């Protein structure tokens, strides 16, 4: 377990350094000047030079990179060029909103996908199977950038039941949660059905039936637990994506989360915020993958973490 934690911390640091370095270099190679964005087109060259010196953008790239790494090792992600606030403060304000949306979407997906996938597997080849897979295929096929606005047109503008966007009003989280959760539920349902069908004809399932166990015991305790491994993998990957910020959905609903902040910062050439957002996304992904491995060990006793 200690060796596993050491590898985890090492991988987090290594991937964070690689991602941070690549993002730093790519942002400085992309055309566009944050000073020009901040001051506007009518700023004088003297004003631009003064602001560029204040922000440290007049230094050579290698020196800017070293200053960035040195500050990052001290836990300082820098100062936002646009908001003029510490980047850590902006991340601390936005990340809980993304985490809330991610958790709610994941819960909704599980509540929909597990009964749907289980029902389809139990009635494989029959009309419940075809109906369930038809619904899931529809959910997979509809893109979020279309489904989100359709929900707004129906429930916000048409019926007036829910807010259009933002997070200030009660119930603001419902539409973005539906947008993300239904798409994820469709994928999970198909994965769960396929996994259950693979294990239903294994020897231990026939043995459990021969012992006279009830159907819910055979499928719920034996088949489902062994079929969960690929589902857990998918859940871990999707949770990492959601924690990183479901960019399209957050932009559509103007949700004040990490994905929306990332898009705004890219448009404004706010280098420190973009770098910090991508670092947080990377660390979240790595952490979720590590938790997925721990879940593997709990679900399948044959899997053992290196000591």
Least confident interval from 19-23, 109-113, 177-181: 19-23
CB 183 within 8 A of CB 144: yes
Report the candidate in 31, 73, 79, 66 with the shortest Cα–Cα distance to residue 271: 79
Question: What tokens does 21 get?
Answer: 């370095």
Looking up tokens 């769960």 gives 192
pTM for this prediction: 0.74
Q: What is the pLDDT of residues 201-232, one digit of tens each?
A: 676 676 766 766 666 566 766 677 677 777 77
* In a shared domain, residues 206 and 155: yes
In angstroms, the Cα distances linking 152 to 3, 148, 175, 186, 301 are: 49, 6, 7, 21, 46
Q: Is residue 103 over pLDDT 80?
A: yes
Q: Are residues 185 and 47 in the same domain?
A: no
Range of the domain at 33: 14-73
Which 8-state DSSP code applies to residue 261? H
One domain for residues 233 and 279? yes
Q: What share of the chain is helix, strand, coil (3-state, %, to 5)?
A: 75, 0, 25
> CATH code at 145?
1.10.3720.10
Residue 307 pLDDT grade (very low, low, confident, very high; cuts 50, 70, 90): very low
Q: Quick one: 194 and 257 in the same domain?
A: yes
Residues 289 and 143 in one domain: yes
Q: Integer distance in angstroms from the first to the last C-alpha of the chain?
A: 5
Residues 153 and 280 reside in one and the same domain: yes
Total domains present in the chain? 2
In this predicted model, what pLDDT tens digit does every residue of 52-97 receive, in sequence order?
776 677 777 778 888 878 877 777 777 787 788 888 888 888 888 8
The rounded mean pLDDT for the chain is 77
Residue 84 located in a structural domain = no
């Amino acid at each position: 377990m200690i060796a596993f934690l050491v590898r985890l911390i090492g991988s987090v640091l290594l991937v964070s350094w690689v991602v941070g370095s690549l993002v730093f270099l790519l942002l400085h190679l992309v055309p566009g000047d944050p000073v020009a964005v901040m001051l506007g087109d009518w700023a004088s060259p003297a004003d631009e030079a003064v602001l560029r010196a204040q922000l440290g953008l007049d230094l050579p790239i290698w020196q800017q990179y070293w200053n960035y790494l040195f500050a990052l090792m001290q836990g300082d992600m820098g100062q936002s060029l646009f908001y003029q606030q510490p980047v850590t403060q902006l991340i601390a304000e936005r990340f809980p909103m993304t985490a809330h949306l991610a958790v709610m979407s994941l819960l909704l997906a599980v509540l929909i996908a597990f009964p749907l996938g289980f029902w389809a597997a139990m009635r494989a080849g029959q009309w419940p199977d075809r109906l369930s897979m038809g619904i899931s295929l529809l959910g997979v096929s509809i893109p979020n950038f279309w489904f989100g606005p359709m929900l707004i047109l129906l429930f916000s503008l048409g019926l007036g039941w829910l807010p259009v966007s933002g997070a200030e009003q009660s119930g603001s989280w419902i539409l973005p949660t539906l947008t993300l959760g239904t798409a994820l539920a469709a994928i999970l349902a198909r994965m769960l059905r396929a996994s259950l069908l693979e294990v239903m004809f294994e020897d231990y399932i026939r043995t459990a039936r021969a012992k006279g166990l009830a159907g819910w015991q055979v499928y719920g305790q034996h088949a489902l637990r062994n079929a969960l491994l690929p589902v857990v993998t998918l859940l871990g990957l999707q949770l990492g994506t959601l924690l990183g910020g479901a960019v399209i959905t957050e932009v559509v609903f103007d949700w004040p989360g990490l994905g929306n902040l990332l898009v705004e910062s890219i448009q404004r050439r706010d280098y420190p915020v973009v770098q910090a957002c991508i670092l947080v996304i990377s660390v979240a992904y790595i952490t979720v993958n590590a938790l997925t491995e721990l879940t593997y060990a709990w679900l399948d006793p044959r899997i053992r973490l290196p000591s």
